[in-house]
Chains A and B, each alone.
Chain A
Amino acid sequence: QVQLVESGGGVVQPGRSLRLSCAASGFTFRIYGMHWVRQAPGKGLEWVAVVSSDVSNKNYADSVKGRFTISRDNSNNTVYLQMNSLRAEDTAVYYCARDRFGAPAPWGQGTLVTVSS
Protein backbone atom coordinates (compact mmCIF):
# COMPACT_ATOMS: atom_id res chain seq x y z
CA GLN A 1 0.00 0.00 0.00
CA VAL A 2 1.04 3.64 -0.42
CA GLN A 3 3.32 4.83 2.32
CA LEU A 4 4.73 8.32 2.76
CA VAL A 5 7.11 9.05 5.61
CA GLU A 6 8.21 12.61 6.31
CA SER A 7 11.35 13.49 8.22
CA GLY A 8 13.62 16.43 8.94
CA GLY A 9 11.38 18.51 11.17
CA GLY A 10 12.54 20.10 14.38
CA VAL A 11 13.16 23.39 16.14
CA VAL A 12 14.98 26.07 14.15
CA GLN A 13 15.71 29.75 14.75
CA PRO A 14 14.11 32.46 12.63
CA GLY A 15 16.10 33.17 9.49
CA ARG A 16 17.68 29.72 9.41
CA SER A 17 17.11 26.84 6.97
CA LEU A 18 15.71 23.34 7.15
CA ARG A 19 15.23 20.55 4.63
CA LEU A 20 12.34 18.15 4.86
CA SER A 21 12.31 14.74 3.18
CA CYS A 22 9.46 12.43 2.28
CA ALA A 23 10.24 8.81 1.48
CA ALA A 24 7.63 7.12 -0.71
CA SER A 25 6.90 3.44 -1.19
CA GLY A 26 4.13 1.14 -2.39
CA PHE A 27 3.57 2.86 -5.75
CA THR A 28 5.42 3.88 -8.93
CA PHE A 29 6.80 7.14 -7.57
CA ARG A 30 8.19 8.50 -10.84
CA ILE A 31 4.76 8.86 -12.52
CA TYR A 32 3.05 10.95 -9.84
CA GLY A 33 3.21 14.60 -8.92
CA MET A 34 3.94 15.27 -5.26
CA HIS A 35 2.66 17.98 -2.90
CA TRP A 36 3.64 19.56 0.40
CA VAL A 37 0.83 20.87 2.60
CA ARG A 38 1.17 22.40 6.05
CA GLN A 39 -1.02 22.96 9.10
CA ALA A 40 -0.16 25.48 11.80
CA PRO A 41 -1.04 24.39 15.35
CA GLY A 42 -4.81 24.53 15.80
CA LYS A 43 -5.32 25.98 12.32
CA GLY A 44 -6.50 24.83 8.91
CA LEU A 45 -4.68 23.31 5.97
CA GLU A 46 -2.46 25.42 3.73
CA TRP A 47 -1.18 24.09 0.41
CA VAL A 48 2.56 24.83 0.04
CA ALA A 49 4.07 23.40 -3.14
CA VAL A 50 3.81 20.79 -5.88
CA VAL A 51 6.30 19.20 -8.25
CA SER A 52 5.36 17.32 -11.41
CA SER A 53 6.41 13.73 -11.98
CA ASP A 54 9.29 14.70 -14.29
CA VAL A 55 10.33 17.79 -12.30
CA SER A 56 9.51 20.05 -15.26
CA ASN A 57 6.87 21.99 -13.33
CA LYS A 58 6.96 23.39 -9.82
CA ASN A 59 4.37 25.61 -8.20
CA TYR A 60 4.36 27.42 -4.86
CA ALA A 61 2.00 29.23 -2.54
CA ASP A 62 2.61 32.97 -2.49
CA SER A 63 3.45 32.74 1.23
CA VAL A 64 6.58 30.63 0.54
CA LYS A 65 7.58 31.66 -2.98
CA GLY A 66 11.22 32.65 -3.17
CA ARG A 67 12.02 31.01 0.21
CA PHE A 68 11.02 27.36 -0.26
CA THR A 69 12.12 24.96 -2.99
CA ILE A 70 10.49 21.64 -3.79
CA SER A 71 12.53 18.94 -5.49
CA ARG A 72 12.48 15.20 -6.00
CA ASP A 73 14.78 12.26 -6.63
CA ASN A 74 12.97 9.66 -8.69
CA SER A 75 15.83 7.19 -8.30
CA ASN A 76 15.39 7.25 -4.51
CA ASN A 77 11.59 7.74 -4.38
CA THR A 78 11.98 10.88 -2.28
CA VAL A 79 10.57 14.38 -2.41
CA TYR A 80 12.17 17.29 -0.58
CA LEU A 81 11.23 20.70 0.70
CA GLN A 82 14.12 23.10 1.22
CA MET A 83 12.98 25.89 3.52
CA ASN A 84 15.11 29.03 3.80
CA SER A 85 14.66 32.31 5.69
CA LEU A 86 12.23 30.63 8.06
CA ARG A 87 9.74 32.74 9.97
CA ALA A 88 7.65 32.13 13.07
CA GLU A 89 4.58 31.84 10.86
CA ASP A 90 6.14 28.84 9.09
CA THR A 91 5.65 26.83 12.30
CA ALA A 92 3.42 23.92 11.31
CA VAL A 93 3.09 20.22 10.70
CA TYR A 94 4.30 19.62 7.16
CA TYR A 95 2.66 16.81 5.21
CA CYS A 96 3.73 15.33 1.91
CA ALA A 97 1.10 13.83 -0.35
CA ARG A 98 0.90 12.13 -3.71
CA ASP A 99 -1.13 13.81 -6.46
CA ARG A 100 -4.19 11.70 -7.11
CA PHE A 101 -7.23 12.72 -9.15
CA GLY A 102 -5.70 16.21 -9.32
CA ALA A 103 -5.43 16.73 -5.57
CA PRO A 104 -3.16 15.70 -2.67
CA ALA A 105 -3.95 12.09 -1.70
CA PRO A 106 -2.96 10.12 0.23
CA TRP A 107 -0.94 11.95 2.86
CA GLY A 108 1.90 11.02 5.17
CA GLN A 109 1.65 11.49 8.93
CA GLY A 110 3.56 14.77 8.88
CA THR A 111 6.64 16.27 10.51
CA LEU A 112 6.54 19.22 12.90
CA VAL A 113 8.61 22.32 12.18
CA THR A 114 8.90 24.89 14.96
CA VAL A 115 10.51 28.23 14.19
CA SER A 116 11.48 29.89 17.45
CA SER A 117 14.41 31.67 19.03
Chain B
Amino acid sequence: SYELTQPPSVSVSPGQTARITCSGDALPKRYAYWYQQKSGQAPVLVIYEDIKRPSGIPERFSASISGTMATLTISGAQVEDEADYYCYSTDNSGNHTLRVFGGGTKLTVL
Protein backbone atom coordinates (compact mmCIF):
# COMPACT_ATOMS: atom_id res chain seq x y z
CA SER B 1 0.00 0.00 0.00
CA TYR B 2 0.98 3.65 -0.27
CA GLU B 3 0.27 6.51 2.12
CA LEU B 4 0.24 10.27 1.94
CA THR B 5 0.54 12.05 5.28
CA GLN B 6 -1.02 15.43 6.06
CA PRO B 7 -1.38 17.37 9.33
CA PRO B 8 -4.95 17.11 10.67
CA SER B 9 -5.38 20.84 11.07
CA VAL B 10 -3.87 24.23 10.26
CA SER B 11 -5.11 27.53 11.60
CA VAL B 12 -4.33 31.07 10.40
CA SER B 13 -5.76 34.55 10.75
CA PRO B 14 -7.26 36.27 7.68
CA GLY B 15 -4.53 37.75 5.49
CA GLN B 16 -1.86 35.38 6.77
CA THR B 17 -0.16 32.68 4.72
CA ALA B 18 -1.37 29.13 5.24
CA ARG B 19 0.85 26.19 4.39
CA ILE B 20 -0.37 22.60 4.24
CA THR B 21 2.09 19.76 3.75
CA CYS B 22 1.77 16.30 2.25
CA SER B 23 4.49 13.70 2.52
CA GLY B 24 4.85 10.54 0.50
CA ASP B 25 7.75 8.36 -0.55
CA ALA B 26 6.82 8.42 -4.24
CA LEU B 27 6.35 12.19 -4.53
CA PRO B 28 9.82 12.72 -6.04
CA LYS B 29 8.72 10.74 -9.10
CA ARG B 30 4.91 11.11 -9.15
CA TYR B 31 2.78 14.21 -9.43
CA ALA B 32 0.96 15.71 -6.45
CA TYR B 33 -2.52 17.17 -6.71
CA TRP B 34 -4.50 19.27 -4.24
CA TYR B 35 -8.24 19.47 -3.62
CA GLN B 36 -10.37 21.88 -1.64
CA GLN B 37 -13.60 20.60 -0.09
CA LYS B 38 -15.94 23.07 1.58
CA SER B 39 -18.57 21.85 3.98
CA GLY B 40 -21.32 19.91 2.24
CA GLN B 41 -19.77 20.27 -1.21
CA ALA B 42 -17.86 18.08 -3.62
CA PRO B 43 -14.07 18.49 -3.78
CA VAL B 44 -12.57 20.94 -6.26
CA LEU B 45 -9.11 20.55 -7.83
CA VAL B 46 -6.96 23.58 -6.96
CA ILE B 47 -3.49 22.35 -7.99
CA TYR B 48 -2.45 19.71 -10.50
CA GLU B 49 0.89 18.24 -11.63
CA ASP B 50 2.69 19.53 -8.51
CA ILE B 51 2.48 23.28 -9.14
CA LYS B 52 -0.09 24.11 -11.84
CA ARG B 53 -3.29 25.99 -11.11
CA PRO B 54 -6.47 25.22 -13.09
CA SER B 55 -8.30 28.12 -14.67
CA GLY B 56 -10.64 29.82 -12.23
CA ILE B 57 -8.55 29.09 -9.15
CA PRO B 58 -7.36 32.30 -7.43
CA GLU B 59 -3.69 33.19 -7.72
CA ARG B 60 -3.28 33.09 -3.94
CA PHE B 61 -3.24 29.30 -4.27
CA SER B 62 0.21 27.95 -5.12
CA ALA B 63 2.21 24.82 -4.48
CA SER B 64 5.71 23.47 -4.37
CA ILE B 65 7.47 20.15 -4.11
CA SER B 66 10.73 19.26 -2.44
CA GLY B 67 11.83 15.66 -2.21
CA THR B 68 9.12 13.63 -0.55
CA MET B 69 7.06 16.63 0.54
CA ALA B 70 4.50 18.66 -1.37
CA THR B 71 3.25 21.95 0.05
CA LEU B 72 0.08 23.88 -0.71
CA THR B 73 0.39 27.59 0.06
CA ILE B 74 -2.49 30.01 0.37
CA SER B 75 -1.09 33.54 0.40
CA GLY B 76 -3.31 36.03 2.17
CA ALA B 77 -5.83 33.42 3.26
CA GLN B 78 -9.44 34.56 3.26
CA VAL B 79 -12.37 33.42 5.35
CA GLU B 80 -13.86 31.70 2.30
CA ASP B 81 -10.74 29.50 2.06
CA GLU B 82 -11.78 27.70 5.23
CA ALA B 83 -12.20 24.10 4.08
CA ASP B 84 -10.71 20.62 4.14
CA TYR B 85 -7.73 20.16 1.83
CA TYR B 86 -6.59 16.82 0.44
CA CYS B 87 -3.49 15.86 -1.48
CA TYR B 88 -3.63 13.05 -4.05
CA SER B 89 -0.97 11.10 -5.84
CA THR B 90 -0.10 7.72 -7.30
CA ASP B 91 2.54 5.04 -7.08
CA ASN B 92 3.40 1.92 -9.00
CA SER B 93 2.98 -1.54 -7.55
CA GLY B 94 4.07 -4.04 -10.14
CA ASN B 95 1.78 -3.53 -13.13
CA HIS B 96 -0.80 -1.87 -10.93
CA THR B 97 -1.15 1.86 -10.20
CA LEU B 98 -2.00 2.81 -6.62
CA ARG B 99 -4.10 5.96 -6.30
CA VAL B 100 -4.38 7.53 -2.88
CA PHE B 101 -5.57 10.61 -1.04
CA GLY B 102 -3.95 12.04 2.02
CA GLY B 103 -5.97 12.03 5.22
CA GLY B 104 -6.98 15.66 4.78
CA THR B 105 -6.17 18.91 6.58
CA LYS B 106 -8.82 21.14 8.08
CA LEU B 107 -7.91 24.78 7.44
CA THR B 108 -9.42 27.26 9.85
CA VAL B 109 -9.25 30.96 8.97
CA LEU B 110 -10.29 33.18 11.86
Which A residues fall within an 8 A CB radius of B? 37, 44-47, 50, 59, 61-62, 95, 100-110
| Docked-complex contact A101 and B42, CB < 8 angstroms | no
> Does B101 lie within 8 Å of A44, measured CB to CB?
yes
Closest to A6 in B: B42
Contact, CB under 8 Å: B97 / A46: no
Pairwise interchain contact A110-B42, C-beta atoms closer than 8 A: yes
- List A contacts of B103 (CB < 8 A): 44
Interface residues of B (CB under 8 A from A): 1, 31, 33, 35, 37, 42-45, 48-49, 52, 54, 84, 86, 88, 90, 96-97, 99-104
Q: List 17 A-B contacts (CB under 8 A).
A: A37-B101, A44-B84, A44-B86, A44-B102, A44-B103, A45-B88, A47-B88, A47-B99, A59-B96, A59-B97, A61-B99, A62-B1, A101-B49, A101-B54, A103-B31, A104-B88, A107-B43
Task: Tell whether, in the assembled complex, residue B104 and residue A106 are in contact, meaning their CB atoms are under 8 Å apart.
Answer: no
Cβ of B45 and Cβ of A106 under 8 Å apart? yes
Are A46 and B43 also in contact (CB < 8 A) when A101-B33, A102-B31 are? no
Known: A45-B43, A95-B42, A110-B42. A105 touches B48 (CB 8 A): yes
Contacts of A109 in B (CB 8 A): 42
Q: Provide the residues of chain A in CB contact with B84, threshold 8 Å.
A: 44
Q: Which of B31, B86, B88 has the most CB of A within 10 A?
A: B88
